Amino acid sequence: MNIYVGNLSFNATEADIERAFSEYGEVKSVNIVKDRDTGRSRGFCFVEMVDDQAGKKAISGLNDQEIAGRSVTVNEARPREDRRGGGGGGGGGRRW
Protein backbone atom coordinates (compact mmCIF):
# COMPACT_ATOMS: atom_id res chain seq x y z
CA MET A 1 0.00 0.00 0.00
CA ASN A 2 1.29 3.44 -0.92
CA ILE A 3 0.70 6.14 1.72
CA TYR A 4 0.96 9.93 1.46
CA VAL A 5 2.35 11.83 4.45
CA GLY A 6 1.82 15.60 4.36
CA ASN A 7 2.75 18.54 6.59
CA LEU A 8 6.05 16.78 7.23
CA SER A 9 8.76 18.59 9.16
CA PHE A 10 11.61 19.73 6.92
CA ASN A 11 13.92 18.12 9.49
CA ALA A 12 12.27 14.69 9.36
CA THR A 13 14.52 11.89 8.13
CA GLU A 14 13.63 8.64 6.41
CA ALA A 15 14.63 6.88 9.64
CA ASP A 16 12.12 9.01 11.65
CA ILE A 17 9.32 8.11 9.26
CA GLU A 18 10.24 4.45 9.02
CA ARG A 19 10.41 4.18 12.82
CA ALA A 20 6.88 5.61 13.18
CA PHE A 21 5.35 3.43 10.45
CA SER A 22 7.15 0.22 11.41
CA GLU A 23 5.08 0.11 14.62
CA TYR A 24 2.18 -0.92 12.36
CA GLY A 25 3.94 -3.36 10.03
CA GLU A 26 6.78 -3.85 7.58
CA VAL A 27 7.84 -0.72 5.67
CA LYS A 28 8.96 -1.42 2.11
CA SER A 29 10.23 2.09 1.31
CA VAL A 30 10.20 5.75 2.37
CA ASN A 31 10.55 8.47 -0.25
CA ILE A 32 10.87 12.05 1.01
CA VAL A 33 10.07 14.36 -1.91
CA LYS A 34 12.79 16.97 -2.33
CA ASP A 35 13.10 20.20 -4.27
CA ARG A 36 14.94 19.58 -7.51
CA ASP A 37 17.12 22.69 -7.23
CA THR A 38 17.90 22.91 -3.51
CA GLY A 39 17.61 19.28 -2.42
CA ARG A 40 15.52 20.42 0.56
CA SER A 41 12.45 18.48 1.63
CA ARG A 42 9.19 19.77 0.14
CA GLY A 43 7.30 18.80 3.30
CA PHE A 44 5.75 15.53 2.18
CA CYS A 45 6.71 11.94 1.49
CA PHE A 46 5.41 8.58 0.40
CA VAL A 47 5.64 5.43 2.47
CA GLU A 48 5.11 2.04 0.91
CA MET A 49 4.04 -0.73 3.25
CA VAL A 50 4.19 -4.41 2.41
CA ASP A 51 0.73 -5.24 3.78
CA ASP A 52 -2.45 -3.28 2.99
CA GLN A 53 -3.98 -4.09 6.38
CA ALA A 54 -0.92 -2.70 8.18
CA GLY A 55 -1.05 0.35 5.91
CA LYS A 56 -4.64 1.06 6.89
CA LYS A 57 -3.76 0.73 10.57
CA ALA A 58 -0.82 3.10 10.09
CA ILE A 59 -3.05 5.65 8.38
CA SER A 60 -5.60 5.65 11.19
CA GLY A 61 -2.94 5.49 13.89
CA LEU A 62 -0.61 8.20 12.58
CA ASN A 63 -2.96 10.76 11.02
CA ASP A 64 -2.77 13.99 13.06
CA GLN A 65 0.11 12.58 15.15
CA GLU A 66 3.59 14.04 15.52
CA ILE A 67 6.56 12.83 13.54
CA ALA A 68 9.81 14.76 14.09
CA GLY A 69 7.97 17.45 16.06
CA ARG A 70 5.16 18.20 13.62
CA SER A 71 1.60 16.91 13.32
CA VAL A 72 1.29 15.10 9.98
CA THR A 73 -1.54 14.30 7.60
CA VAL A 74 -1.57 10.65 6.58
CA ASN A 75 -3.80 9.06 3.95
CA GLU A 76 -3.77 6.58 1.11
CA ALA A 77 -1.84 7.95 -1.86
CA ARG A 78 -3.86 8.61 -4.98
CA PRO A 79 -2.53 7.54 -8.36
CA ARG A 80 -0.37 10.19 -9.99
CA GLU A 81 -2.07 12.30 -12.63
CA ASP A 82 -0.57 12.52 -16.10
CA ARG A 83 0.98 15.98 -16.32
CA ARG A 84 2.04 15.91 -19.97
CA GLY A 85 -1.34 17.02 -21.20
CA GLY A 86 -2.04 19.56 -23.46
CA GLY A 87 -3.47 22.91 -23.33
CA GLY A 88 -1.49 25.93 -24.04
CA GLY A 89 -1.98 25.97 -27.75
CA GLY A 90 1.40 26.89 -28.95
CA GLY A 91 1.92 25.25 -32.12
CA GLY A 92 2.18 26.88 -35.41
CA GLY A 93 -0.26 28.79 -37.45
CA ARG A 94 0.47 32.27 -38.71
CA ARG A 95 -0.88 35.35 -37.14
CA TRP A 96 -1.24 38.32 -39.40
Beta-carbon contacts of residue 54 (< 8 Å; ≥ 6 apart) = 1, 24, 25, 26
Q: What is the predicted pLDDT for the residue at 79?
A: 85
Catalogue all structural domains in the chain, each as residue range(s) with its CATH number.
Answer: 2-76 (3.30.70.330)
Q: What is the predicted pLDDT for the residue at 9?
A: 97
Q: Which of 16, 22, 12 lies closest to 50 in space, CA to CA?
A: 22
Does residue 85 surpass a pLDDT of 70?
no
The whole-angstrom separation of Cα 21 and Cα 28 is: 10
Does residue 91 surpass a pLDDT of 70?
no
